[in-house]
């Protein structure tokens, strides 16, 4: 997944806090809107997220899937240790790069 870091084509999607049941719908819409802009790479920034629940993971996977469909490279950044652990145990890093905070 070596992607060129050309600023123009990188879309950063901030998590805007936790990705949990109460926020996912709002974040989903925001992400969909963000993805309207053309880009070659999308980065989900979890720096603000303490907790990601099942729905949050579903959302991340949905995001990944959409990116995949649109041939946009997808990655996640700023995951805290707990989130990293969950991602690793679910083998998500095999699907897309995930960088720890």
Partner 1 sequence: MASLADESIIADFVAESREHLSSVEPDLLAMESLGAKVSQEVINRVFRAIHSLKGGAGFFAFEALKKLSHAMESVLMLVRDGKLSPAPDIMDCLFTGVDRLRAMLDDIQASDNVPFAKELANLEAILSGKGVNLGETVKGREKGSKRDFDLDAESVRSALRRGMNLYRANAYLHRDIKDQGLTPLAFLNNAMSVGACLDAFIDIDAIADLENCLEQDLAVTLLFASVLEPDLAALALKLPVEQVKVLEVKALKEEMKAKAKAAKAAEKAEPKAEPGPRQEAPAPVAEEPVAEVEPEAAVEDKPEARGGAAMKEGGNETLRVRVDLLTNLMNLAGELVLGRNQLVRAVTDYQNEIPGLGAILQNVNQVTTEMQEGIMQTRMQPIGTVFNRFPRIIRDMSRQLSKQIEVQIEGAEVELDKSIVEMLVDPLTHIIRNCADHALETPAERKKAGKNPTGVIHLHAFHEGGQINIAVNDDGRGIDAKKILAKALAKGLVTKAQAAEMTDREIVHLVFAPGFSTAETVSDISGRGVGMDVVRTNVEKLGGHVELETEVGMGTTVRLRLPLTLAIIPSMIVGVADHRFAIPQVNVVEFVWVKASEVAQRIEHVQGALVLRLRDKLLPLVRLADVLGIQRLFLDAATGEMRPDRRASIADRRGDAPETPEEASTRERDRRTDWRSDHNIIVLRVGKNHYGVIVDELFDIEEIVVKPLSTFIQGTKCFSGATILGDGRVIMILDAGGLSTAAQLHFTDLQAEEIRRLEEEKRSAALKASRRRSVILFEAAKGERFAVPQDHVLRLERILRSRIELIGDREYIEYRGEGLPLVRLDRHLEVRPLDKGLEELFLVIPKVPGQNSTARPPAGILISEILDALDVEVELKAVEFTGPGLLGSAVVQDHLTLFLDPVNLLKAAGLMGGDAA
CB of 80 to partner 1, least distance (A): 11
Measured CA to CA, the distance from residue 86 to residue 1 in angstroms comes to: 21
Binding site for partner 1 (CB under 8 A): 21, 24-25, 28, 31-32, 35, 51-55, 57-59, 61-66, 68-69, 82-83, 85-86, 89-92, 94-95
Tell me the sheet residues that pair with 74.
42
CB of 2 to partner 1, least distance (A): 20
Owner of token pair 């070596």: 2
Q: Which is nearer to partner 1, 6 or 101 (CB)?
A: 101
Tell me whether residue 86 is exposed, middle or buried, using C-beta atoms within 10 angstroms of its C-beta: 0 to 12, 13 to 18, 19 or more. Answer: middle
């Amino acid at each position: 997944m070596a992607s060129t870091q050309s600023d123009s084509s990188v879309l950063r999607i901030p998590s805007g806090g936790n990705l949990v049941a109460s926020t996912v719908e709002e974040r989903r819409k925001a992400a969909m809107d963000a993805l309207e802009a053309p880009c070659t790479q999308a980065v989900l920034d979890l720096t603000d997220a303490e907790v990601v629940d099942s729905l949050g993971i579903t959302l991340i996977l949905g995001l990944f899937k959409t990116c995949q469909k649109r041939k946009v490279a997808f990655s996640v950044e700023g995951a805290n240790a707990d989130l990293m652990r969950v991602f690793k145990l679910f083998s998500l890093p095999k699907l897309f790069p995930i960088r720890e905070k």
